[in-house]
Amino acid sequence: GENVEQHPSTLSVQEGDSAVIKCTYSDSASNYFPWYKQELGKRPQLIIDIRSNVGEKKDQRIAVTLNKTAKHFSLHITETQPEDSAVYFCAASYPGGKLIFGQGTELSVKP
Amino acid sequence: DGGITQSPKYLFRKEGQNVTLSCEQNLNHDAMYWYRQDPGQGLRLIYYSQIVNDFQKGDIAEGYSVSREKKESFPLTVTSAQKNPTAFYLCASSRGLAGGVADTQYFGPGTRLTVL
């Protein structure tokens, strides 16, 4: 079925450390993989995305890697800061243009 | 995503009543989506529309209905058949499919529905 698994569900790091969140998807036809950040009570905001013709993409402290063979992709945040604390969601595209979202990872960055 | 608005921000409804949530966008996007978010959970797709006058069911469409009469608007009705409607509802829009490739979705601010 259409499914995206996301791990871990919670992640606590010290300020300055790196954080990694992993997702797997089920459909080899998926070709678009966005990551969203959601602060409490707010709307999800896109932070980075990757398409299936690319293996890695970076934007300052944030990077995403994609392994199409294994059907998994990961978010890497380096030099974490307290303002990085939020819930992060991965998603994968499925036929018809829809996105299926993972369950979310609550990241806590301790000063 | 400032071009997507949802109203109202908070909505209270008595059990057994239908209620309609508004979603408007001025981004000239073809596609629009409705998601439901429960505490501590991800976003689950209710309905989506890739073009005016057409829409498809998502994973949890039971107890909900939508219409897409205008490109800018995609209202969601939560009917009395929805057994547990208390949740945070998010609307999103995107340019839609281009050559079979999905595009970025931008979210509205959400409506928090509480059934009393």
Note whether B56 contacts A96, CB cutoff 8 Å.
yes
- Rounded to an integer, the average pLDDT of B74-96 is 93
Of A18-27, A36-45, A94-103, B20-29, the range with the lowest mean pLDDT is A94-103
Give me the mean pLDDT over the A70-75 stretch: 96
Task: Tell me the average pLDDT across B5-18.
Answer: 92
Q: What is the pLDDT of residues A3-32, one digit of tens each?
A: 899 999 999 999 999 999 999 999 888 999
**pLDDT score, position A97:** 82
Rounded mean pLDDT, B53-57: 95
Q: Give the pLDDT mean for B57-78.
A: 96
Residue A2's pLDDT is 81
CA distance to partner chain B, nearest, from residue A15 (Å)? 24
User: A45-51 and A32-38 as β-strands: parallel, antiparallel, unpaired?
Assistant: antiparallel
Tell me how far the alpha carbon of residue B90 is from its chain's centroid: 6
Tell me what pLDDT residue B100 has.
Answer: 67
If pLDDT is split at 50, 70 and 90, which confidence band does A54 have? confident
Compute the average pLDDT of residues A61-80: 97
Strand partners, B98: B101
Mean pLDDT over residues B49-57, rounded? 94
* Residue with more model confidence, A36 or B96: A36
Q: Rounded mean pLDDT of chain B?
A: 92
B48 touches chain A (CB under 8 A): yes
pLDDT at B77 > cutoff 70: yes
Number of A/B CB contacts below 8 angstroms equals: 64
> What's chain B look like in SS3?
CCCEEEECCEEEECCCCCEEEEEEECCCCCEEEEEEECCCCCEEEEEEEEECCEEEECCCCCCEEECCCECCECCEEECCCCCCCCEEEEEEEECCCECCECCCCEECCCEEEEEC
Cβ within 8 Å, pair A97-B43 = no
